[in-house]
Amino acid sequence: MNTYAYNNNAMTNLWNYLQGLSLSATDSRWLADHLIQNADKQEKEYQQVSAKDLYGIWGDDGINADDAVAELKEMRSFNHKSIQL
C-alpha cells in the first residue's frame, strides 16, 4: 500500500472514530483548536527556505565563481575503459 493510500485510510478511520464519539460543541471546538494550533506549529517549523536566504552562504571561502567552476571541472573524471569483445 502506498503512503498516500495508507495516510488517507488512517485519516478516514480517525474521522469515523471521532464522529462516533459523543462530543459536545465545546469539546469539538477544543479539539479543532488544538489540531489547528498543532498544524500552525508544524508549518512554522517546516517553512520553505528561499534560495535568496542562501545567497552568499559560501562567500567567505575566498574563491570566486569562475575558480569554483574550474575546480569542479578538474575534479570530474571519466574512466572509460575499452572492453575487448
pLDDT for residue 38: 92
* Max CA distance (Å), the chain: 80
d(CA 18, CA 57): 48
d(CA 6, CA 4): 5
pLDDT for residue 71: 84
pLDDT for residue 42: 84
pLDDT for residue 61: 66
Q: What are phi and psi of 57, to 5 degrees?
A: -65, -30
Q: What is the mean pLDDT of each run of 10 residues along the chain (85 residues)?
A: 78 92 93 92 77 65 80 76 68
pLDDT for residue 68: 81
Q: Which letter does DSSP use for residue 60 in this model?
A: G
